Structure 1
Amino acid sequence: MEDSPDAGRIIQDHRNLHNWTNKSVGDNDDELPLYMKFNDGHRLSIAAYSVLLVFSAVANMTVLVLLVKRKRVQPSRINTMLMHLAIADLMVTFLIMPLEIVWAYTVQWLAGDAMCRIMSFFRTFGLYLSSFILCCLSIDRYYAVMKPLQLVNLDRRERLMILGAWIGAAICSAPQIYIFHLEHHPAITWYWQCVSFNIFPNTYYELAYNIFVLMAMYALPLVVVLFSYSSILLEIFRRTRNPGYADGVTRSSLAFLGRAKIRTLKMTIIIVLVFFVCWTPYQVMCIWYWYDGVTALKVDARIQKVLLQIEVYQVST
């Protein structure tokens, strides 16, 4: 069986096993489909994830150490949440990235069924946790500016939000343990892969789960971030332009609000743009694949891999 002319355009990935049934029992092992052999797509993944692993490890370890030192000197809710965000990033760095590197090198899954399920859980856990902690940060800033009179039991609320982020990430990732499992090729019995075959009764159930992942990991956090920081920015503009408010504050307070407005505007633009730019392209690719998988699979494999790596990079930094 020779590779088709479009083989370079179809995603060349060890987990893309949509055409297992195209391989007959009599085929020679040396004539495996391109996606079942070590190819340029795997080399790209190994190189990219290796660079990201080193950079992300150094950056996040440095940030975590600085936050721990700062927390000892001047404890604050923001520092605590940023510490948990750094921990979530490090989980992506030291769990997802090494997994992707080794998996790309071996092509097939060699670690057994239990490890397939466990690592499938952690492949999404770090991503969920990072998104949920980002929501906690946004909500905390929202209450600090919009509802300052409700700033009671701050430490308790902070602990509850962080605990909720961890528990929520675990609950959202739990289906991965059931969905992913080890399965061998129907014809090439020595080829084992960690897949989600034969789990969903039909494609509608699979689509429903994928939509849930999209909403929980991407859409909901994006809405929370947009709403929180947009509300904060509008409130700061309102305060600085309200004559009644200005009469009761000093010039220094107004100057502080002016600086706060600029800082908040910058923070809003950076957070929203980074989240949107890094996450949206890959999510759009996923939606395209669900809607029209045949056409989506014709997108250059390198583009698909780069989109995923950009998303992982954003989460891990």
Structure 2
Amino acid sequence: AVVFNVERHDIITNYYQCVTFKFFDAEWKLRLYNTICLIAMYFGPLIAIYEVENDFTLRTAEENESIKLHIAKTSISLYIQHRNSILRKTKRKTLKMTIIIVVAFIICWSPYAFMVLWYQFHSESVENVDSLIQEGLFIFAVANSCVNPFVYKLNLVKKLSPNLCVV
């Protein structure tokens, strides 16, 4: 690895770990590295999720207008109307699910991203924040991976609930 190197622990002599503390020769380089990592972990995915959701919303709106024009210009069967109705409902559900995923991502990662940026640019004041709170914010961020299955499960339960037998 370019940034990390393996170093022996100071107290436990037979324990080695990956560290960065001997790589950066200036504080600004470490700050730059950590900021780039935060951009890659938080802002990159957030922008990607937003762009995909925005593109989906625009395409859905365009397709709905196209369907309306098509229906207005031709005599269309009830089957096609029903199929288009199902398609619109499916798109709405997908959009709703996308929004929920984006909101879950923002709720989970924003406090951690805020703390990282705060630490990078004003580390003296962050040191006054209780370490338990700092650890909690980190756990909250990585908990996003634990939240997503519940988000998907809620949608699946709604979909399957008419077919489930309650004993």
Tell me if both proteins adopt one fold, taking TM over 0.5 as the criterion. Answer: yes
Q: Which has the higher contact order (CA 8 A, sep 6+)?
A: 1
Structure 2 counterpart of 1:262, which letter? R
CA contact (8 A) 2:57 2:95 kept: yes
Match of 1:310, SS? helix
> Do the aligned partners of residues 225 and 190 (structure 1) sit closer, same or farther apart at CA in structure 2, a change above 3 Å counting?
closer
Quote how far apart the aligned CAs of 1:305 are: 0.9
In structure 1, the residue corresponding to 2:35 is in which secondary structure? Answer: helix
State the match for 1:231 in structure 2. Answer: 55
| Pair 1:256–1:210, CA change in 2 (3 A) | same
The 5 A counterparts of 1:13-92 are none
Q: Report the TM-score when normalising by structure 2.
A: 0.71
The one-letter amino acid paired with 2:32 is A
Normalised by the length of structure 1, the TM-score is 0.39
Q: Structure 1 residue aligned with 2:20, among 168, 174, 196?
A: 196
Q: Does 1:182 align with 2:7?
A: yes
The correspondence for 1:298, drawn from 110, 128, 143, is 128
Matched letter for residue 82 of structure 2 = S
- Compared CA separation, residues 246 and 226, structure 1 to 2 (3 A): farther
Match of 1:282 among 112, 119, 122: 112
Residue 270 of structure 1: CA displacement? 1.2
* Paired AA for residue 208 in structure 1: L
CA separation of 1:246/1:219 partners in 2, compared to 1, >3 Å: closer, same or farther?
Answer: farther
Q: Where do 4+ consecutive residues of structure 1 move more than 3 Å?
A: 189-195, 245-249
1:311 corresponds to = 141
Asked whether the 8 Å contact 1:282–1:311 carries over to 2, the reply is yes
* Identical-residue share of aligned pairs (%): 28
Q: Structure 1's 255 and 203: CA in aligned 2 closer, same or farther, altered over 3 A?
A: same
Aligned-partner Cα distance in 2 for 1:306–1:179: 25
- 1:272 alignment partner in structure 2: 102
Secondary structure of 1:204's counterpart equals helix
Aligned mate of 1:222, from 22, 35, 46: 46
- Unaligned 5+ segments in structure 2 are 150-167
Question: SS in structure 1 opposite 2:143?
Answer: helix
User: What is the CA-CA distance between 1:293 and the residue it aligns to?
Assistant: 0.5
CA deviation string 1:37-73 (max 9, x = no partner)? xxxxxxxxxxxxxxxxxxxxxxxxxxxxxxxxxxxxx
Q: 1:292 to 1:183 in 2, by over 3 A?
A: farther
Partner of 2:89: 259
Once residues 221 and 201 of structure 1 are traced to their aligned partners in structure 2, the CA distance between those partners, rounded to angstroms, is 30
**Tell me, what secondary structure is at the counterpart of 2:129?**
coil
C-alpha separation between the residues in 1 aligned to 2:55 and 2:94?
A: 11
